Structure 1
Amino acid sequence: MISPSGDRQSLLGRIVIDPEICHGKPVVRGLRYTVESLLEYLAGGDSVDDILAEFPDLEREDLLACLQHAAVSMKVHSRHLAVA
């Protein structure tokens, strides 16, 4: 379980946005694995263990960071819609 404070920030620190990497899409630790593609694997039914076996340079915390990034993004998007 992700705690509401410190762990969340350390997980989000794994997500990098750099215009020189994958056209500025959020990626995991600068490794060129986009958050979007990893979320698509999870949404498609792949388990965390499946993904880690397929991509051995990823860590469990990287996938948790992707989920946390998505959750934060949804909150921002929802707030934006509420204001509009």
Structure 2
Amino acid sequence: MRLDRITSNPKRMNGQPCIRNLRLTVRRVIELLAIYPNREELHQEFPELEDEDIQQALIFVSSYLDDRIIELSNRYEAVA
């Protein structure tokens, strides 16, 4: 898949990957997905953000993750 909505310009946002040359970084989009689990609310707050932008941001970020197993500490388990 071609990520044509992800742009990078050294003179904008310190060269961080952005959405369509907007001042909205891929990192910020991922943070917004965590903050706004309801997509309708997200679109109300950021009307310039399109579903295709979100999809490409997720694909871009996932390409930086590799398939390795990381042991997690059990001390953060919820107690029922």
Q: TM-score, normalised by structure 1?
A: 0.69
* Separation in structure 2 between the aligned mates of residue 49 and residue 41 of structure 1, nearest angstrom: 12
Unaligned runs of 5+ in 2: 68-80
The structure whose residues are more often helix, as a share, is 1
Percent identity for Structure 1 against Structure 2: 33
* Separation in structure 2 between the aligned mates of residue 40 and residue 26 of structure 1, nearest angstrom: 14
Spell out structure 1 runs of 4+ moving beyond 4 A. Answer: none
Q: Which residue of 2 aligns with 1:27?
A: 18
Please list, as runs of the form range in 1=range in 2, the aligned pairs for 1:1-80 lying within 5 A after superposition: 8-9=1-2, 12-75=3-66
Q: TM-score, normalised by structure 2?
A: 0.72
How many residue pairs get aligned? The number is 68
Which structure would you say has the larger RCO, counting Cα contacts within 8 Å and 6 or more residues apart?
A: 1
Larger radius of gyration: 2
